[in-house]
Amino acid sequence: MREQVISELERTGVPFTVNAPMHTYTTWKIGGRCDLIVFPRTIEEISAAVRILNAEAVPWMVIGKGSNMLVSDEGFRGAVLRLAGEWDTASFNEDGVLAGGGFSLITLSLQAAKHGFAGLEFAGGIPGTVGGAVCMNAGAHGSDVSQILSRAFVMDEKGDAFWLKARDLAFSYRESVLQRKPWIVLKALFSLSRGDRLTIAENTKRYKEKRMRTQPLKQPSCGSVFRNPLPLFAAEILESCGLKGYSIGGAQISGLHANFIVNTGGATADDVRALIRLAQARAKQERGVDLVTEVKFVGFSSE
């Protein structure tokens, strides 16, 4: 990492770590080291970090909880921004909640239920952060972020921040315009409706218990690997191809849910990528379906 970048970050007081092991920041527990990981806590810090990195032509990316991400075994030659401070908070009012991009989506769902707000029950078992959920239009149980998002406060690649309305994000199934722009979701304003606390809590609990029964949540994974090729389901396709439980190295297509690849211990990024490619090839060969990943590949020269 360039000495000038380190010097400038130290001058601005932005917390950072050099030569950081990415496996500690991803839900797959896989990945080599990145040159630098920065933990901006305020609008001033994140803007300063982006401008410093840009000035020195250092590649950078943003992560939340590290789900839906496969970092190569060689790591990432650049800087990683991980939102902290005010970006890891949430505040409720009479109309809903304003949540930071680094706030846990699962925690937000549970807090909404506690406050008697309906609308976030579907998110009770989705790993990751609010920022990632907005970017990916995360969803489950017939609902998704696009149905409750009012506005998002984002920062562009130059370090300028502004509000966007939900309609500006061009939401579709697991898609938004944010996936095609290097922008950062700093905050999200969700419009929620008041409801019966007991009913909301029961629905949230029911969704969570279903996930516990049907998904390998006790093993390291990225969440769902493939988007569902609606009206079909990726898990059903892979199961019909006989891939449940299939392993390459330490990576395994879960025997509980075939759209999850789990790290059974010591899995490498190459193991996971090889298993993804195998699953795609078999789905195409046996079912004529092109499976598209939800996973972002980081640090792979061929991706």
- Per-residue confidence (pLDDT) for residue 35, from 0 to 100: 96
Q: Of 8, 45, 121, 294, which residue is the catalytic one? A: 294
145-181: burial string, b at 16+ Cβ within 10 Å, e else: bbebbebbbbbeeebebeebebeebebeebbbebeee
- Per-residue confidence (pLDDT) for residue 202, from 0 to 100: 86
- Per-residue confidence (pLDDT) for residue 303, from 0 to 100: 60
Q: Of 33, 82, 151, 174, which residue is the catalytic one? A: 174
Q: Of 151, 224, 254, 273, which residue is the catalytic one? A: 224
Q: Copy the structure tokens of residue 151.
A: 């506005």
DSSP string, the chain: --HHHHHHHHHHT--EEEEEEGGGGSTT----EEEEEE---SHHHHHHHHHHHHHTT--EEEESS--SEEE-TT-EEEEEEE--GGGG-EEEETTEEEEETTSBHHHHHHHHHHTTEES-GGGGG--SBHHHHHHHT-EETTEEGGGTEEEEEEE-TTS-EEEEEGGGG--BTTB-GGGGS--EEEEEEEE-EE--HHHHHHHHHHHHHHHHHHS-TTS---S--B---TTS-HHHHHHHTT-TT-EETTEEE-SS-TT-EEE-SS--HHHHHHHHHHHHHHHHHHH---PPB-PEEES-TT-
Give the separation between CA 295 and CA 252, rounded to whole angstroms. Answer: 16
- Per-residue confidence (pLDDT) for residue 228, from 0 to 100: 94
- Per-residue confidence (pLDDT) for residue 77, from 0 to 100: 95
pTM for the complete prediction? 0.90
- Per-residue confidence (pLDDT) for residue 128, from 0 to 100: 87
Asked if 294 is an active-site residue, the reply is yes
208, burial (CB in 10 Å: exposed 0-12, middle 13-18, buried 19+): middle
Asked if 240 is an active-site residue, the reply is no
Asked if 10 is an active-site residue, the reply is no
Are 154 and 185 in contact, with CB atoms under 8 Å apart?
yes
Per-residue pLDDT for the chain (303 aa), expressed as one digit of tens each?
A: 678 999 999 999 999 999 999 999 999 999 999 999 999 999 999 999 999 999 999 999 999 889 899 999 999 999 999 999 999 999 999 889 999 999 999 999 999 999 999 999 988 878 889 999 999 999 888 899 999 999 999 999 999 999 999 999 999 999 999 998 989 999 999 999 998 888 998 888 888 888 889 999 899 999 999 999 999 999 999 999 999 999 999 999 999 999 999 999 999 999 999 999 999 999 999 999 999 999 999 999 866
Token pair 């797959």 is at which residue?
A: 28
